[in-house]
Amino acid sequence: MMTNGSIKFLTCLNKIGQTLKASLSIGSHRLAQHNPPKLNDSTIGRLRTHVYESIMLVDMKPRIYIETSIPSYLTSRRSRDLIAAANQELTQEWWDTRKDDFDLIISEFVSREAAAGDPNAARDRLAAIAGIPELNITDEVGQLAQILIEKIPLPEKAQLDALHIAIATVHGTDYLLTWNCTHINNAELRPKIEALCRLQGYEPPIICTPQELLKV
CATH code, residues 63-213: 3.40.50.1010
Of residues 57 and 146, more confidently modeled: 146
Does the pLDDT at position 23 exceed 60? no
pLDDT attached to residue 121 = 97
| Residue 206, beta-bridge partner list | 175
Percent of the chain with pLDDT strictly greater than 70: 73
What integer is the mean pLDDT of 38-65? 66
Question: Chain-wide mean pLDDT for the chain?
Answer: 85
The stretches of the chain forming alpha helices (DSSP H) are: 4-32, 41-59, 69-75, 82-97, 108-115, 119-129, 139-151, 159-170, 190-199
List C-alpha distances in Å: 206 to 62, 74, 169, 183.
11, 21, 10, 15
Q: For the stretch 122-132, what's the b/e string if a residue is b when 16 or more beta carbons lie within 10 angstroms of its beta carbon? A: eebbeebbeeb
pLDDT digits (tens, 9 = 90+) for 163-216: 999 999 999 999 999 999 999 999 999 999 999 999 999 999 999 999 999 987
Pairwise CA distance, residues 16 & 186, whole Å: 40
Pairwise CA distance, residues 60 & 164, whole Å: 23
Report which of 115, 158, 163 is spatially closest to residue 141, judged by C-alpha positions: 163
List C-alpha distances in Å: 182 to 133, 187, 202.
26, 9, 23
pLDDT attached to residue 211 = 97
| Largest Cα span, the chain | 82
pLDDT attached to residue 89 = 97
Report which of 76, 74, 33 is spatially closest to residue 178, judged by C-alpha positions: 74
pTM of the model: 0.75
pLDDT attached to residue 192 = 97
Pairwise CA distance, residues 90 & 97, whole Å: 10
pLDDT digits (tens, 9 = 90+) for 88-121: 999 999 999 999 999 999 999 999 999 999 999 9
pLDDT attached to residue 160 = 97
pLDDT digits (tens, 9 = 90+) for 113-140: 999 999 999 999 999 999 999 999 999 9
| Residue 111 C-beta-side C-alpha neighbours within 13 Å | 12
pLDDT attached to residue 215 = 86
pLDDT attached to residue 20 = 47
What is the residue extent of each domain of the chain?
A: 4-59, 63-213
